[in-house]
Each structure stands twice: as structure tokens, then as C-alpha cells.
Structure 1
């Protein structure tokens, strides 16, 4: 009987020790909540990054779509002298390339330099429309890590002030305070990294569309210099 009591007591002691040593489970939201009030600006910056990225991605993707036969049809209509059909085709297409070509068609009969200048002006306006709000992502990429570092610095100041006030130099207290304050730095860096990648990705998409516009402009000028049928 005594042996059984000893075994039961040993099991209870081991279970209690395991319960004490078991690490505290923490989900993502409770972990982020420990970052303090500076996490709220980071939440806002993260939400702004996601919103601007998808809004610009949809707009740029829509602007880059154009029928592969668009310029071929424009060429056939212009060479055959059917200017009204060429302009109707350009006006019924909502892409930047079509709007630029439409401006060139409207200037047919004027010197080539004047046509190129008017198309270039339309191209600049279309580029501005596509690049709108991309500067927000660039700003977030620089500001978000700064907010994170600021939160860490404020947290470290508070931690060492409390240590100085209470005289509690236990390693667990110091380590716990440091890891909690590093949450803001990690959040700021992640948000800034996402904004940086999003900005560069969208800039690449804009450049691709700009190249299509330049190619279409050059092809249109070549069409104008071909003899009519």
C-alpha cells in the first residue's frame, strides 16, 4: 500500500512539474496585442498597403489589356483611307494605348512632329494615371520600420525605468520585456517589406505598359509615313 502511495505521489509531482514547465501558448492576435499602442499605426499602414496594392493592380492590369490585332486593324484602316473607322476603333477601346492612338488619329494631316508631341502628352497623362498612389507604397516602405523601431525604443525605456524603480533584475523579467517590445520592430519590418515588394511589382507592370505604348506610338508614326492605297 505504501509503495502505491509513493507511486501516486511521484506521478502527481511529475504532472505538477510538467504543468509548471509547460510554455504558455499564445496566438498571433494576443502576441500582437502585447506590442502596445504603436501597433495601431502599423495596423493602419498594413491595411493601406493591402488596399493600395489591389486597387492599383486591378487598374494597371485593366489598362494593360489590348487586342493583339489592334494596331493591325488601325494600320489597314489608315492605309485604305478609312480614318473614321480607325478612330471609331480607338475610341471604343479604353486602354491607354488606344487613347494615345486616338489622339494621333485626330492630328492626321498635321506635321509628324506635332502628331508625336500630342501623342507624347497623352502618354504622360496615362502614365500619371497608372502611377497614381504608388508613392503611398513607397512612403509606407520607409515609415513602417521607423514606427516599429520607435515602439521598441519606447518599450526599452519603459522596461529599464521599471527595473530601476523596482530593483527587479531577474532574467525572466528582462527577457520577457525585451521580446514583447521587439514585436513592434518585427511588425514594422514585415509591413515595410510587403509595401516595398508591392511597389516594385506594380512599377514593373507600369513599365511594361509604357513599353507597349511606346511601341504602338512608333508603329503609328510608321503607318502615317507609308503610302496610301
Structure 2
């Protein structure tokens, strides 16, 4: 493996660095974007039970806020539960934008890696072909071993760049779609809580 990396030339270093960063981001986002972590089951129902019994305190609100991203959004509305429905919604929307930004953390970096690694591979290909033509100019085409170094460098860097870019792009699209789905569910839960507390709908 080391010989293969060495044969790929100097551009293998940034490609390998990109692969390490991409792997770290993928593992972290797989853990951070778990549905049960972002949107705990029955959170709105639990809040409503406390609220309907008059047992919802500021300590409960703090616990809800620290428990999950959905909890942060709901806690923003609960902190303004003495105000109008409009004020509660505005507070929820403001915190919701911050939560969405956190859910999308590192996705731009992953997308950038998916974009630049094929270009690094292409640059390696160009450099490898330049070496091939330089060898042809100096030694001619009679000895294939003279050309082998440049050709192998061209092929290895291209393959390495694509090997990093393809999974990075796949996970970037996957995480983007998952964030969108989670945001829709969080909006539904937040709206449900506001309407139930305002007496505009029944708790299911």
C-alpha cells in the first residue's frame, strides 16, 4: 500500500488528508443525526402532561432544552408560554434557524471534499502525463520502463481522487436529505406543541 501511495506522487498527500477528514465527518454526522437523538419520542406529549397538570417549571424547560435539538426548539416556545402564540412561534423560528445550522455542520466541508478530490486526481494525471512526455523527449519510446512511472502516477492519483469523491458525494447528499426530513418533523412537533398549549387542537 505504501508503495502504491508513493507511486502516486506528491498529490497523494492532500488526497489522503481529504479522505481522513471526510471519514471523520461521516462518522460524526452518522452519530449526531440519529433520529432518536434529534427528535426524542413522545417529547411533546411529556411536556403537555406537565403543562396540563401545572407542573411545568423552568427547571423542566432547561432539562428539555439540554436534551436534544428538538428540545432546544420547544424550550424556546416554552420560555415564552406566558405570551401570545405569535411570540412563541417567533421564538421557536429564531432558535430553529440556529438548530438547523448545527444539524448542517461540516456538510459544506464534505461537499467541498467531494468537489476538489477529483480535481486533485486530474491534476495528478496531468503531472503524470507531463512526466511521460518529458521521458519520451529524452529517452524516446523504446524503453517502456522509462514511461511507466509517469503513467502509473497519472492512473493512481485519478483512482484515488475518485475513490474519495464518490463516497463523499453520496454521504453529502444523504445527510442533506436527512437534515431536511428532520427539520420538517421538528417543525411539525413545534407547531403541534404551540397549538395544543393554545387550545387550538387536542393532544393525540
Instruction: Name the TM-score, length of structure 1 as normaliser.
Output: 0.78
Unaligned runs of 5+ in 2: none
Answer whether contact 1:147 1:188 (CA < 8 A) is retained.
Answer: yes
For 2:21, the equivalent position in structure 1 comes to 48
For 1:14, the equivalent position in structure 2 comes to none
* Separation in structure 2 between the aligned mates of residue 89 and residue 70 of structure 1, nearest angstrom: 12
Matched, 1:209 2:147: no
How far off its partner does 1:63 sit?
3.8
Matched, 1:193 2:173: no
* Separation in structure 2 between the aligned mates of residue 177 and residue 138 of structure 1, nearest angstrom: 30
* Of 49, 55, 63, the match for 1:92: 63
Matched, 1:64 2:35: no
Q: How many pairs does the alignment contain?
A: 198
Unaligned runs of 5+ in 1: 1-27
For 1:123, the equivalent position in structure 2 comes to 96
Answer whether contact 1:79 1:226 (CA < 8 A) is retained.
Answer: no
How far off its partner does 1:170 sit?
4.4
Instruction: Name the TM-score, length of structure 2 as normaliser.
Output: 0.87
Answer whether contact 1:42 1:191 (CA < 8 A) is retained.
Answer: yes
* Separation in structure 2 between the aligned mates of residue 39 and residue 182 of structure 1, nearest angstrom: 12
- What are the superposed Cα offsets for residues 60-119 of structure 1, whole Å, 9 maximum, x if unpaired? 2274251x22211212222333332xx544432411111111111111121211110100
SS of 2:74 mapped into structure 1: helix
* Separation in structure 2 between the aligned mates of residue 90 and residue 114 of structure 1, nearest angstrom: 17
Over the residues paired in the alignment, what is the CA RMSD in angstroms?
2.2
* Separation in structure 1 between the aligned mates of residue 59 and residue 130 of structure 2, nearest angstrom: 68
- What are the superposed Cα offsets for residues 174-196 of structure 1, whole Å, 9 maximum, x if unpaired? 46642442110110011111211
* Separation in structure 1 between the aligned mates of residue 142 and residue 109 of structure 2, nearest angstrom: 44
How far off its partner does 1:172 sit?
6.1
How far off its partner does 1:204 sit?
2.6
How far off its partner does 1:166 sit?
1.4
For 1:35, the equivalent position in structure 2 comes to 8
How far off its partner does 1:36 sit?
0.7
Matched, 1:82 2:63: no
Greater CA radius of gyration, 1 or 2?
1
